[in-house]
A and B are shown apart, each in its own frame.
Chain A
Amino acid sequence: MAREYDVVVLGGGLMGAAIGYGLARLGRRTAILDEGDIAFRASRGNFSLVWVQSKGLGMPAYSSWTRRSAERWSGFAAELKDETGVDCALQQPGGFTLLLSDAEMERRIAFLAKLHAQPGFEPYPYEIWDRSRVRQVFPGIGPEVVGASFCPLDGHLNALRAFRASHAAFAARGGDYFPHHTIEKVEPLAGGGFRIDTPGSGFTAAKVVLAAGTGNARLGPMLGLHAPVRPQRGQALVTEKASPFLTHPVVNLRQTDEGGIMIGDSQEEAGFDTSLGLGVLAVMARRAARMFPEVGRLNVVRTWSALRVMTKDGFPIYQQSETAPGAFLCNCHSGVTLAAAHAALLAPMIDAGRLDDTLLGAFSTRRFDVPASA
């Protein structure tokens, strides 16, 4: 006997949990089907930034969507705390990209100008700071730091707590979570709705949301959806806990709420290989120590890698199936930054059965339907 739901979400990472919570909060009977702890789980390995600056070159709508989510994060964090008692330790004091040479400074200025010059780009506030101004915020910068770009909209949080809080809030709103339910098959039913089969269980739902990260590449075609996504490896390291000395996040390093310095921004094409290497870790650590020499004296206590869910062009995908309406494909690599929008904006659109064209039209998979020779 199949269990019946209004919506079944395939994938229980931060994206699936945020969408599931958003739907459960609207009163929909919602289930999340998830793999076990063996799943490739970007939600457990990410860098935990809520980040606006630099995003959207090539797709202005991505910058706008990112910004909407960043603006909603404080409300979302307060809501999660209210629902679950879990504090995500969100801070949005503005964030920096530190620059270590005049050449880096020139490239950064040119990049941000190009980003903002795009037709349809919704400008966001940013500033270029010289070294003396950076030193007023970060007295401990190294001698090579020549300046920085600063965006007051940027921030960070404790993403593990945000992940746990999203699941707890989903459960508190009556959502059902099924771990160890790898999807074997999902198919549209003749009279509308969907059937989802996992080993040993069956589910039916009026709507289905594919939030399975790289797993969407396998699941999408079952519902007439094309998901050009691949894993992109990122490595990270964290130091022992130190007393607070970084008041703002920097794009490649940040001090966590409990004191550890997290370092990481590597991007590697390595398939599903999650192995680590001293080569990449050393480069990241060295750059962090050039920015803040005191970081170089701290002991590293953990290193890890995780797989970003990267689409063909790096921008998110939000697409309703044309052949099986009610099936929604969702992919992104910034599940932390976008979680607030996924819960507050995307979930209601899924519930209404229509993705808002103004906000999300640009993220359709139709953008990939271009002949390779074009």
Chain B
Amino acid sequence: MTQMFDQIFVIAKHWLLGYVPAVAQPLASAILSVVPVLIAFPLLFAITTVLERKGLGRIQNRYGPNRTGPAGFFQPIADGIKSLTKEDIVPLSADHIVHFLAPVLIVVAAFMAYAVLPIGRNMVILNLNAGVLFFFAIGSVVELSVFMAGWSSRSKYSLLGAMRAIAQMISYEVPLVLATVVVIMQAGSLSTVTIVERQAGYTGIWPHWYLFTPWGIVGFVLFMIAATAESNRSPFDLPEGESEIIAGYYIEYSGFKFALFFLGEYLGMFATSGMAITLFLGGWSAPLSVFTFVPSWIWFFAKLLVLIGGFIWIRGTLPRLRMDQLMNFAWEFILPMSLLNMLIAGVWHFMAPGVVRWLVCSAIIATPCILLSAGLRKKKRLMVRTYEFAE
């Protein structure tokens, strides 16, 4: 029975495929795999916008939206209608083709990243051998679309915003990939399905998640920091901060294209959260072995909701980082930490299981972390301001 609930989507898909003639079966299979993702994640996007506004409201001691629908949960419908019916203004000197293609590209890239996430047992659209690599390759297409958006608007603010956004995304892509490399080293495969299956075992009631190792904890934290920066989310949302640069690279976008950018950003957030779940939190496996009766895809979405809640919590707490603080943080702190993380993953692999290797690995990573952060804090000294071009 629980097995049936667990595999209910797979069973439904095969049942529907039975009605399709054999010639069209590969195409129908692809469509049937893709359509649920195309429905589920935009729905999750709608729910997340409401949850975020209400969550941020409660954090800031106020109600969120509570007029449209029960407790405000029809707000995304209202937002959708608003963005669809807004006038689509394109600047006269803008590059119309590129201006149009940029939001399309970001949404397409964001959707393509879901192809390798295992949402449940036997529920992955594409079981690629190099699944993780595919994910990061698609992620790097997003930067190109950011540039296209910023350049085509032919506006100084959007160009500046695009430059800063690309610089930020490139800087944080390196720690993102390095944090992933640790998991790949340990799992021995680039395929996301294999990585999840490696974590799906239990010793006693405790799962084999990579989170419960020193390099897993550090890697997870680094991955989440880099993921927050990759999706331009607070506290790394300077490129789109309204009080700094008035929405940065999507200043000149209005109406539906703006909604597409918003959608693309949130979908990117979900995709990197999904990858974090796959790599560190055991994908679709239950946290304790007593809970395996709950379907696997429910666990995936539960973990995803927890991570989204974490994102919202961080957004409500931390102030925005300035551009130079952001870049310093990436190159001077996060990158060395991720390299050290790789070191302790290797040490972990070659030591015997037990408390000793926990202590050794924690010491190896904690000491430089404390020293580095203390050193970086002391380094900040105020310099005399010089104006390079104003003589």
- A and B part of one assembly: no
Interface residues of A (CB under 8 A from B): none
Interface residues of B (CB under 8 A from A): none
